[in-house]
Structure 1
Amino acid sequence: MTTSALISELRTRSRALGFDAFGIAPADARPDLAGRLAIALERDWHGDMEWLAESPDRRAAPRALWSAARSVIMLGMNYGPDEDPLPLLARTDRANLSVYARNRDYHEVIKGRLKELAGLLRRRTGAEVKVFVDTAPLMEKPLAEAAGLGWQGKHTVLVSRELGSWLFLGAILTSAELPADGPHPQSCGTCTRCLDICPTAAFPAPFQLDARRCLSYLNIEHKGPIPHEFRAAMGNRVYGCDDCLAVCPWNKFASATREARLQAREDLRAPALADLLALDEAAFRALFVGSPVKRIGHARFLRNVLIAAGNSGDLDLVDAVEARLIDLSPLVRGAAVWALRRLDPNRSEALRLAFMPAERDMSVQAEWNAVVQPARAN
């Protein structure tokens, strides 16, 4: 089989597997990554994502991760929603989950298909292969740019002319020397919509992201209490934040087939905060079975929901919030204190006198003693 016939077969098979984008780059296509990563780490933009700082040499170069790698096949799958997620931000009694989390975990969706495509390459060439879906020290977005799938936009997310900003990425490293596609030029022009809409000013400059200010980092990766300065800005975002992706003008040109997109579960499109506040751990696991939301755990999820409740101005949620003052997790108790003091300052003061003497966790004590601005009623 000729090389061109092999690539044609791989492209055809990738489409049959539901991938919308396919490109190839040399494994050493991005020698600039080490320097870019070093700058971000020096500035502590990674927050407490310690794994980003582990083995930076391996993360910055595929061949440092696997010395046999010669080529990288990058695959993209469109997960664009069938409706604009931004209007849900105004429905403050409802929870807003990032579009990608409204169905199955994308790792499960993509990995099996990557393995099938990698197996085809191995059978045809005898070359070694390894597959990755955001689970190893591999910088997929700049490699996808090098493989011609798109470019990293000013919001640092990969943007495609055909698929917009809604792309899952997967990678196949191989020992085979494959013909490379050309890199995609940066095509954001003068547009700054993604930067302008960010509710926490998480972009120090175009093409740079300080994760410590990013709501997706704060409500997913961050393990402690949400910093006070970002709580009001979090609104009803209980998992992730789609703002900068949703306003990308390239989204309107998306042409992927509906079959390649994940269909949102109806019960996760706009779940009621009241229902989420009532979830015990077993119910949480049952609701989010197979979802990436499950990975953050019950306590961190309730922390997020309580922040959303505090932002809602909905006095009907006060009883449900108060019930969480006796939660076993101090992370949950602290968020409940903040939410209650936002919703009903008078009631919270009486409860402070009742609960403070028995509270042993210093972070929760600090929440009881903090100055909190009441939320505006709906």
Structure 2
Amino acid sequence: MSHPLDLQQLAQDIKQWGLALGFQQVGICDTDLSLEEPRLQAWLEQQRHGEMEWMARHGMMRARPHELLPGTLRVISVRMNYLPAKAAFASTLKNPRLGYVSRYALGRDYHKVLRNRLKKLGDLIQQRCAEANFRPFVDSAPVLERPLAAKAGLGWTGKHSLILNREAGSWFFLGELLINLPLPIDRPQEAQCGRCVACITTCPTGAIVEPYVVDARRCISYLTIELEGAIPEELRPLIGNRIYGCDDCQLICPWNRFGQLTDEDDFSPRAALHAPPLTELFAWDEAKFLRITEGSAIRRIGHLRWLRNVAVALGNAPWEAANITALESRLGENSMLDEHIEWAIAQQLAKRRASAVEVQPSKKLRLIRAVEKGLPRDA
């Protein structure tokens, strides 16, 4: 006679298996996201998803996990730290001659890493319970992963819309395993943001339009990753040297004082992507771009959008003749890229003119002092 399945024990085992597989936390919740549906609908109606038409196409399915996998009763939500050691946030962002890549994208594509681990977790569950049916998701289907993670007790939703955790801040990836077992569910954490609005005030483009609401059309991550066409001209100067994604709202968050470093070798930064000179990046041909970004999340934007982003950063960099040379070298390759190159060149020339005006008073003063000392005028 087979013994009835002890769901309480199975839930505890699932969490232990998850930790052994490299996840830092595992939580379980039901599939009811009905409270999220009106918020999602309003966000879509206000067109705040920008060109991400797949968000509108799937509609309310994003708030109904059970429609993705019929028979789903629970969602197992996991998180995995990704912050590398020596992330060099400040030194890269403060040097406008370097390209800044969002720290989650410096290593191997997290989608593959988490999905493989989730599949292993599902297999372990199935070994215990043959009737278990599961499906892993890592940004691979219309699932509201952050509300699910909050319901599963992995953290609370911060005002920047990311999940925050008391012990780990927000430097982690999320993944889900939909399953047909009525496992006991975990309790959500209490929100801990209080009156803090640091993420809202520090956003370079003002994309966090109100607490918990991000207008993707202004978000640098959207502009440099999701947007396929031209970046709006009025937003280009605000992007600075961020060429793939943006971490500002996380960097300023007080809870990230408790951020934990990853111990995953897959998330270690690739040298060619870690604080690289912009002029070097702009010289990459497509073959080199594909070679360096193999197995990386960056590859999905393609070489053209990569060059577009770097061109904007070169326009925002301090005046240097080398920047003009680099930009001019790619004129005529693509009309959309040309638009950004011409804008960047105009920015560089304006800075050169401004610097020339600023130099004149000090040059005149040096000449006066030279004459007073009886030195040759060319000294």
> Normalized against structure 2, the TM-score is what?
0.88
Match of 1:170 in 2: 175
- Aligned with 2:209: secondary structure? coil
Match of 2:346 in 1: 341
Of the three residues 43, 67, 74, the one matched with 1:40 is: 43
Match of 1:51 in 2: 54
1:204-226 deviations in Å (ceiling 9; x for gaps): 11111111110100110011111
Does the 8 Å contact 2:69/2:135 carry over to 1? no
In structure 2, give the amino acid aligned to 1:75. V
1:320 maps onto 2:326 in alignment: yes
Match of 2:76 in 1: 73
1:259-285 deviations in Å (ceiling 9; x for gaps): 488222222110111111101111110
Does the 8 Å contact 1:165/1:245 carry over to 2? yes
Aligned partners of 1:189 and 1:13: how far apart in 2? 34
Aligned partners of 1:275 and 1:257: how far apart in 2? 29
1:295-333 deviations in Å (ceiling 9; x for gaps): 000000100000000000232211110011121x21211
1:14 maps onto 2:8 in alignment: no
1:184 maps onto 2:186 in alignment: no
Match of 2:276 in 1: 271
Match of 1:360 in 2: none
Q: Which runs of 4+ in 1 moved over 6 A?
A: none
Aligned partners of 1:347 and 1:15: how far apart in 2? 55
1:203–1:5 Cα change, 3 Å: same
1:171-191 deviations in Å (ceiling 9; x for gaps): 000011100001122111111
Of the three residues 220, 223, 227, the one matched with 2:228 is: 223
Aligned partners of 1:304 and 1:45: how far apart in 2? 21
1:4 maps onto 2:27 in alignment: no
- Aligned with 1:324: secondary structure? coil
Aligned partners of 1:10 and 1:225: how far apart in 2? 46
Structure 1 segment 193-272 matched on structure 2, within 5 A: 193-255=198-260, 258-259=263-264, 262-272=267-277
Match of 1:363 in 2: none
In structure 2, give the amino acid aligned to 1:79. Y
1:120-164 deviations in Å (ceiling 9; x for gaps): 112212211011000100000000000000011000011111110
Match of 1:359 in 2: none
Aligned partners of 2:329 and 2:78: how far apart in 1? 46
Deviates more, 1:75-84 or 1:226-235: 75-84
Match of 2:365 in 1: none
Shift of 1:344: 2.2
Does the 8 Å contact 1:23/1:149 carry over to 2? yes
Shift of 1:65: 2.3
- Aligned with 2:13: secondary structure? helix
Of the three residues 304, 307, 314, the one matched with 1:309 is: 314
Q: What runs of 5+ residues in structure 2 fail to find an aligned partner?
A: 359-379
Of the three residues 105, 109, 127, the one matched with 1:123 is: 127
Aligned partners of 1:63 and 1:240: how far apart in 2? 31
- Aligned with 1:104: secondary structure? coil
Q: What runs of 5+ residues in structure 1 fail to find an aligned partner?
A: 349-372
Does the 8 Å contact 2:100/2:242 carry over to 1? yes
1:214-247 deviations in Å (ceiling 9; x for gaps): 0100110011111011100000000000000111
1:281 maps onto 2:286 in alignment: yes
- Aligned with 1:326: secondary structure? coil
Aligned partners of 1:172 and 1:202: how far apart in 2? 31
1:295–1:255 Cα change, 3 Å: closer
Aligned partners of 1:201 and 1:256: how far apart in 2? 29
- Aligned with 1:75: secondary structure? strand
Aligned partners of 1:47 and 1:40: how far apart in 2? 10
Of the three residues 106, 110, 126, the one matched with 2:110 is: 106
- CA RMSD after TM alignment: 2.2
Report % sequence identity. 42
> Normalized against structure 1, the TM-score is what?
0.88
Does the 8 Å contact 1:78/1:261 carry over to 2? no
Aligned partners of 2:44 and 2:165: how far apart in 1? 27
Shift of 1:76: 0.3
Larger radius of gyration, structure 1 or 2? 2
1:33–1:215 Cα change, 3 Å: same
- Aligned with 1:169: secondary structure? strand
Match of 1:153 in 2: 158
Does the 8 Å contact 1:97/1:240 carry over to 2? yes
